[in-house]
């Protein structure tokens, strides 16, 4: 288990850095699920759990600096749990979210703790010390890497076997209940997206997307292309009407 | 479009410098903190240009101090602004003008970035990836990374050249374009969210009501007759209104877990 825990810790460190820096988005659960699955020798469960967790975190993005429950640790711990305990991936959602919320609090703490270092950076700027500025940024990366690696290592190394036992002792109404809640949780992500995006004039498009999938079983790609078609129509329609009004105005001013 | 508008600049910065700054911009948030947010990462990204165009130590020092001021924008869309500011620093523009362009642009860029990347590109590509992965298909995560990063790369590396070449003019373009772009992005985004609600929330009831001889299954005989996926849509909107009332996402997670367990316990879910 030590080797697996170390590998998962390494992945957590890399993914944790990717959440804020480089941002190739290898930290998303849909990718972490595959990697953790490969480390633990069960790619299929990894993929399914990763995808389930991905949907829960869909709307939880760092908008305007606000920190959502930590997607990196949520994705990794959730997948580890599903594979080691052999439970339904949906139960993993209920297990992963508390971890993710705790790590979110820790990140907030880190962002506060890093503020005083900015005054050191001011001093480096004053001295035109470019190397100093670079080192402060590299230090930030190093702290993130170590933090995530440690956070992922501990529960995987010490808790994984326990987790299996705990789940086996849990009553079925609890595990089934957690699975049901896991199935509902994507609604939270979608509601968060709606809170930011939904305005009265956009409600029609939400409905169109819902209807084409519910009644016509259109795939997600098809739905996206449909949305794009509407957006393009709207964009050029508006543009030409803008041009027209501008033209009219010009004509009038010329006339007078 | 940009070819005709190359500003008159001393030409000290090379293509290689622009590439180096774009690569450095990957670490924009390395030293993120609540006091200055991305300031030190922004300065880090801009250093190749500053070191080259500010010859004296005094000039370099004063430029570095100016760029340690509060800064925050979308991490994928920072490069057009790096390009603009690098062009202005190279041309020794008035520091106050550089500052106001920085401040005026970081907000709209942040807004556009949130709309087209966090709320459109990410949900669509991750949603497609997840829809494959949930069936155990390894192509899911791979496809997600490929599509997402192809667009990411175009924005980041294309952005720095676009910003540099259009120089100050880019700011105007961005301002007038902001509304139309985020409007179009919202339309695509919401259509997809509608589809996601219909396909990815599993919520149904096994309740069966017995009336004499007749048995009525609430889900298949009643709810699905009115509209399939009614419960997922209804639950999403319930959460939406709770969020708007100011309830935190963390609380909603707690509520959802509670509903799941209690609902299962009494056999309503």
Taking a contact as any Cβ pair under 8 Å apart, which residues of chain B between 210 and 229 contact chain A? 227-229
Distance, CA of B123 to CA of B148 (rounded, Å): 10
B157 and B212 belong to one structural domain: no
Confidence of residue A250 (pLDDT cuts 50, 70, 90): very low
Whole-Å CA distances, B44 to A22, A140, B49, B250: 14, 12, 10, 35
Same domain, B136 and B243: no
A130-169 in b/e burial notation, b at 16+ Cβ within 10 A? beebbbbbeebbebbbebbbebbbebbbebbeebeeebee
**Full domain range(s) for residue B233:** 201-265
Nearest to A194 among B43, B68, B240 (CB): B240
Q: Is the ipTM of this complex over 0.85?
A: no
Residue A248 is encoded by which pair of tokens? 């009219």
Residues B49, B133 within the same domain = yes
Interface of A with B in 119-138 (CB under 8 A): 121-122, 124-128, 130, 133-134, 136-138
| B169 and B223 assigned to the same domain | no
Q: Which of B27, B30, B124 should be substituted to probe chain A, the one whose Cβ sees the most A Cβ atoms within 10 Å?
A: B30
Identify whether residues B64 and B135 lie together within a single domain: yes
Q: Over range B116-131, report the average pLDDT.
A: 89
Instruction: Report CB contact under 8 Å: B27, A24.
Output: no
The residues pairing with A37 across neighbouring beta strands, listed in sequence order, are none
B35 touching chain A per CB within 8 A: yes
Same domain, B224 and B161: no
- State whether residue A14 sits within 8 Å of chain B by CB: no
Rounded to an integer, the average pLDDT of B191-215 is: 84
* Chain segment A147-202, per-residue pLDDT in tens: 999 989 988 887 655 655 655 666 777 777 877 877 787 788 778 778 877 888 89
Phi, psi of B208, rounded to the nearest 5 degrees: -125, 125
Contacts of B206 in chain A (CB under 8 A): none
Which of these three, B199, B219, B246, is where a domain ends?
A: B199
Among B152, B167, B199, the domain-final residue is: B199
- pLDDT tens across A125-150, in order? 999 999 999 999 999 999 999 999 99
User: Quick one: B27 and B151 in the same domain?
Assistant: yes
Tens of pLDDT, residue by residue over B145-163, are: 999 999 999 999 999 998 8
Query: How many structural domains comprise chain B?
Result: 2
Domain boundary among the residues B199, B229, B245 is at: B199
Euclidean distance between CA atoms B8 and B238, whole angstroms? 57
Q: Within this chain, do residues B113 and B18 fall inside the same structural domain, yes or no?
A: yes
B141 to chain A, any CB pair closer than 8 A? The answer is yes
């Amino acid at each position: 288990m030590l080797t697996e825990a170390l590998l998962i810790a390494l992945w957590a460190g890399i993914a944790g850095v990717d959440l804020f820096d480089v941002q190739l988005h290898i930290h998303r659960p849909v990718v972490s699920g595959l990697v953790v699955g490969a480390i633990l020798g069960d790619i299929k469960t990894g993929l399914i759990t990763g995808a389930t967790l991905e949907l829960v975190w869909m709307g939880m993005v760092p908008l305007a600096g606000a920190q959502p429950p930590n997607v990196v640790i949520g994705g990794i711990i959730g997948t580890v749990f599903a594979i080691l305990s052999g439970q339904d991936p949906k139960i993993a959602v209920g297990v992963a979210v508390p971890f993710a919320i705790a790590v979110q609090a820790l990140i907030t703490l880190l962002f506060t703790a890093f503020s005083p270092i900015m005054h050191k950076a001011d001093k480096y700027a004053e001295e035109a010390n470019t190397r100093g500025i670079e080192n402060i940024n590299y230090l930030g990366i190093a702290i993130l890497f170590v933090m995530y690696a440690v956070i992922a290592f501990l529960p995987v190394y010490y808790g994984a076997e326990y987790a299996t036992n705990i789940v086996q002792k849990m009553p079925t109404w609890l595990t089934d209940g957690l699975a049901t809640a896991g199935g509902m949780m994507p609604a939270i992500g979608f509601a968060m997206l709606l809170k930011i995006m939904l305005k009265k004039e956009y409600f029609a498009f939400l409905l169109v997307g819902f209807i084409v999938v519910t009644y016509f079983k259109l795939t997600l790609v098809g739905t996206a292309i449909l949305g794009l078609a509407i957006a393009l129509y709207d964009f050029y329609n508006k543009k030409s009407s803008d041009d027209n009004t501008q033209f009219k105005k010009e004509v009038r001013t010329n006339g007078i | 479009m940009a070819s005709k508008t190359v500003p008159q600049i001393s030409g000290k910065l090379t293509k290689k410098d622009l590439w180096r700054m774009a690569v450095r911009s990957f670490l924009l948030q390395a030293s993120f903190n609540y006091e200055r947010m991305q300031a030190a990462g922004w300065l880090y990204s801009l250093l190749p240009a500053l070191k080259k165009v500010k010859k004296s130590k005094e000039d370099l020092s004063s430029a570095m101090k100016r760029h340690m001021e509060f800064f925050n924008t979308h991490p994928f869309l920072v490069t057009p602004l790096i390009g603009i500011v690098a062009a202005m620093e190279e041309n020794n523009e008035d520091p106050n003008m550089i500052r106001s362009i920085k401040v005026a642009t970081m907000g709209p860029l942040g807004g556009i970035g949130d709309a087209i990347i966090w709320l459109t590109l990410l949900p669509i590509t991750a949603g497609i990836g997840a829809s494959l992965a949930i069936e155990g298909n390894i192509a899911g995560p791979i496809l997600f990374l490929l599509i997402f990063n192809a667009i990411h790369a175009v924005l980041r590396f294309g952005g720095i050249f676009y910003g540099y070449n259009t120089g100050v003019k880019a700011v105007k373009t961005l301002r007038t374009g902001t509304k139309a772009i985020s409007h179009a992005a919202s339309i695509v985004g919401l259509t997809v969210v509608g589809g996601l609600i219909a396909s990815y929330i599993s919520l149904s009831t096994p309740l069966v009501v017995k009336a004499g001889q007749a048995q009525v299954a609430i889900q298949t005989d009643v709810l699905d007759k009115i509209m399939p996926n009614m419960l997922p849509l209804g639950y999403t909107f319930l959460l939406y209104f709770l969020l708007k009332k100011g309830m935190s996402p963390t609380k909603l997670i707690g509520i959802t877990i509670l509903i799941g367990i209690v609902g299962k316990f009494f056999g309503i879910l």
